[in-house]
Structure 1
Amino acid sequence: MHLTLENAEALLPGGLQPTSVSIENGLIVMGKGRSVDLTGCRIFPGIVDLHGDGFERHLAPRRGAMMDMSEGLFAVDAELAANGITTAVLAQFWSYEGGMRRPEFAQKLVNALLQVGDDLLTDMPLQLRLETHLIDEYPDAEALIDRAGIKYVVFNDHLPHDALEKGKRPPRLTGQALKSRRSPEAHWALLQELHNRGPEVPKALAALAARLRDKGVQLGSHDDATPEERSAFREMGARIAEFPETREAAEAAQSAGDPIVLGAPNVMRGGSHAGNVAAAELIKDGLCDAIVSDYHYPSVRRAAVQLADTLGLEAAWRLVSERPAEILGLTDRGRIEPGLRADLVVLDPKGRVGATFSAGQLAFARGAIAARIMGTG
């Protein structure tokens, strides 16, 4: 396919400019192909979503009612493209929490991606979110990382340590137990066992982190609450700070040059649903390198558009395209320049996604924009 998208404004290095953008063999190229009139539209680099788990609703829409994961991934592909996302890091848990967070689910997701990955239009690399206290499961998790070629691992600690330290039954115990296919008593005993192994975690986790770094895996931490937590993970080589819970943790990350990842739903809500620091406040003060979907794919584009009022459109969109691509080491995308992947999103005159191109392939189109691209309108 050789197309030239004409009569639109495109977000180029330097800002929004009237120009034409040509696509051929999956790349942005010089020269002219079949003309597509996009008068009134704007063309942006495709969104690079560094962390999202919205895929879960397609793969297992109800507890115990897992659909064919292959079909579910095609549904994920369609939703991502409809929201202008051309690279989507699927954030998959390896956890004691059960349900879609259990190790068996991670194994099945990897199998499905290996089976149909070449047929997906959106680039969907996996991130493994590993619960730090599952020390005995590190070898199995590492084997999955090797088998799937996972290049981004994040360390989580979701244990309710305060309650466990006091010997109290933590909230949501029964629900977690049901998802884990354990009795509440067995699940509580497991949580207590994991909590009691806390002193073993730093040494074991540091050794795992060293092995993963040697394989070229990028490491991050999740929900850092204090500068000390961020520092401890940094010393292990976990340089990416996902969703710091406090300004102090975010400032510690920035002062050390660690990329900071914040959630688009937090921006759209005007604050964290868990009572943590508001993402918009951190972004306003320059304490953010990437805005991600977290659990809601439409929020990424909407957050960038909303933040354009304060940051400027170029700076705001950079947080959802160029900068996350840089963090992942993907030098072939995130900008509109000749020679890069033709990952593009076309916004119609009302600011809605009218079309998405992923590596030059038309992944989504709607209404009048679709008709213009197809040459029927």
Structure 2
Amino acid sequence: MILANADLVLSDRVMRGALHIEGETITAITEGPAVPVGAVDCEGDLLIPGLIELHTDNLERHMQPRPGVDWPHDTAILAHDGELASVGITTVFDALRVGSIYGTAKGYAPYALALAEEINALNARQATRISHFIHLRAEICSETLVEEMEAFGDGHRVRLVSLMDHTPGQRQFRDLKKLEEYEKGKHGMSDAQFTAHVEMLTSLRNRIGDRHETEAVRLAGEFGATLASHDDTTAAQVQTSAGHGVKLAEFPTTVEAAQASRDAGIKIIMGAPNLIRGGSHSGNVAAKDLAQKGLLDILSSDYVPSSLLMASCRLAVMWDDLPRAIATVTSTPAEATGLTDRGRIAEGLRADLVRVADARQTPRVRGVWCRGRCVG
């Protein structure tokens, strides 16, 4: 296959040219607008590497389309997979919670191991359009974190573990009023239930939080997974994260934490919805402010898959640097998680590609290829 007459977004420049693909691999890159016989004429559209999504909760929406409705998992996984393919994502790290709580107003049971095995089974038999890896969200404030993580092994494709500490009054929910609005709005908690919820989580953190954190770091190392922190707020928290060997800072909540992460050599991930909306829904630092300060390395779609491409195009305008902006959703997340076979347009790499029109306005996906196969 030849994709010709495209503006190829390379690592350091944009070049009108063509990509030559054999099987799953980019075999040659040629310059110029020529359209050889039999080639796909991209009509001057952008051709960028397939997007790489490190943190998305999108699968949950397909598994529970309404409160109390559990959808068949195979169907939900494939619907999620197809949605991601349609917006240019060719590699996803499906974020699954590990660590459960029983017998409270907001109790939740283990589910990650069984779901990971279902995702991996579909991926192994090539039923999915794109590549799936597992991202374990390690809930420090829980009752069962260690035993749930210990059930995972080499065959589960765990490549990312994030340390999630949702103790009320710090990190994402430093402002307890914001947490109260969230819990009452999403889960319908009463005043008494919210008070009990805060007391329960605080007690859990005090009793077993340190052990959970230590064991999650150890198990991430056994999996060979990249380690991430979540919602660091202070320089002291970043220092602790760096001591654990954290390589990714997911959604730091302040400029202080983002700057400390940069100083520690930790890559900074911010939410694409935050960038598009112009601010955080939790009242934390705006992604655009970090981008303007040069403190943003990777974007994540979080809860809106289509936001990943849109936000990277917004960054391209803000920075006046398209290759740098596209790197936040392609090469940088690939490098951060040890995926050396994708994330760039280069000879010998996987033909994971996205054709994009109207990138400076409302970007439109006009074609998606994963391993050289058209998937969207």
Does the pair score TM above 0.5? yes
CA shift, 1:9, in A, is: 1.4
Whether 1:328 aligns to 2:340 is: no
Aligned pair in 2 of structure 1 residues 43, 147: CA closer, same or farther (>3 Å)? closer
Q: State whether residues 142 and 204 of structure 2, in contact with CA within 8 Å, keep that contact through their aligned partners in structure 1.
A: no
Secondary structure of 1:219's counterpart equals strand
Aligned pair in 2 of structure 1 residues 361, 127: CA closer, same or farther (>3 Å)? same
Q: State whether residues 345 and 357 of structure 1, in contact with CA within 8 Å, keep that contact through their aligned partners in structure 2.
A: yes
Q: How many residues align?
A: 356
Q: Which amino acid aligns with 1:227?
A: A
Question: After the TM superposition, which of the residue ranges 230-239 and 334-343 deviates more from structure 2?
Answer: 230-239
CA shift, 1:202, in A, is: 2.2
CA shift, 1:201, in A, is: 2.0
* Cα distance in structure 2, aligned partners of 1:100 and 1:11: 46
Q: Return the match for 2:57 from 48, 53, 57.
A: 53
Matches within 5 A, 1:349-368: 351-364=363-376
Deviations 1:106-140 (A, max 9, x none): 23422321331231121121111111122543122
Whether 1:11 aligns to 2:20 is: no
Q: Return the match for 2:216 from 208, 212, 225.
A: 208
Q: Return the match for 2:113 from 100, 107, 115.
A: 107
Aligned pair in 2 of structure 1 residues 107, 88: CA closer, same or farther (>3 Å)? same
Question: After the TM superposition, which of the residue ranges 210-219 and 191-200 deviates more from structure 2?
Answer: 191-200
Matches within 5 A, 1:1-377: 3-30=1-28, 34-96=38-100, 102-118=108-124, 119-134=127-142, 136-144=144-152, 148-161=156-169, 192-199=199-206, 200-311=208-319, 312-348=321-357, 351-364=363-376
Question: After the TM superposition, which of the residue ranges 51-60 and 19-28 deviates more from structure 2?
Answer: 51-60
Gaps of 5+ in 1: 365-377
CA shift, 1:97, in A, is: 7.2
Aligned pair in 2 of structure 1 residues 214, 335: CA closer, same or farther (>3 Å)? same
Deviations 1:73-125 (A, max 9, x none): 11112111111111111112235479999443323422321331231121121
* Cα distance in structure 2, aligned partners of 1:247 and 1:4: 45
RMSD: 3.0
CA shift, 1:194, in A, is: 3.9
Q: State whether residues 141 and 166 of structure 2, in contact with CA within 8 Å, keep that contact through their aligned partners in structure 1.
A: no
Percent of paired sites with the same residue: 33
Q: Which amino acid aligns with 2:367?
A: A
Aligned pair in 2 of structure 1 residues 173, 72: CA closer, same or farther (>3 Å)? closer
* Cα distance in structure 2, aligned partners of 1:82 and 1:173: 32
Aligned pair in 2 of structure 1 residues 7, 204: CA closer, same or farther (>3 Å)? closer
Q: State whether residues 54 and 294 of structure 1, in contact with CA within 8 Å, keep that contact through their aligned partners in structure 2.
A: yes
Q: Which amino acid aligns with 2:98?
A: W
Q: State whether residues 19 and 26 of structure 2, in contact with CA within 8 Å, keep that contact through their aligned partners in structure 1.
A: yes
Aligned pair in 2 of structure 1 residues 33, 227: CA closer, same or farther (>3 Å)? farther
CA shift, 1:274, in A, is: 1.1
Aligned pair in 2 of structure 1 residues 173, 272: CA closer, same or farther (>3 Å)? closer
* Cα distance in structure 2, aligned partners of 1:111 and 1:48: 21
CA shift, 1:178, in A, is: 7.7
Question: After the TM superposition, which of the residue ranges 15-24 and 111-120 deviates more from structure 2?
Answer: 111-120
Aligned pair in 2 of structure 1 residues 306, 101: CA closer, same or farther (>3 Å)? farther
Q: State whether residues 99 and 146 of structure 2, in contact with CA within 8 Å, keep that contact through their aligned partners in structure 1.
A: no
CA shift, 1:65, in A, is: 1.4
Q: Which amino acid aligns with 2:249?
A: A
Structure 1 equivalent of residue 32 of structure 2: none
Aligned pair in 2 of structure 1 residues 209, 33: CA closer, same or farther (>3 Å)? farther
Question: After the TM superposition, which of the residue ranges 257-266 and 92-101 deviates more from structure 2?
Answer: 92-101
* Cα distance in structure 1, aligned partners of 2:93 and 2:183: 29
Secondary structure of 1:355's counterpart equals strand
Secondary structure of 2:138's counterpart equals strand
* Cα distance in structure 2, aligned partners of 1:106 and 1:184: 30
Question: After the TM superposition, which of the residue ranges 17-26 and 196-205 deviates more from structure 2?
Answer: 196-205
CA shift, 1:258, in A, is: 0.6
* Cα distance in structure 2, aligned partners of 1:360 and 1:297: 22
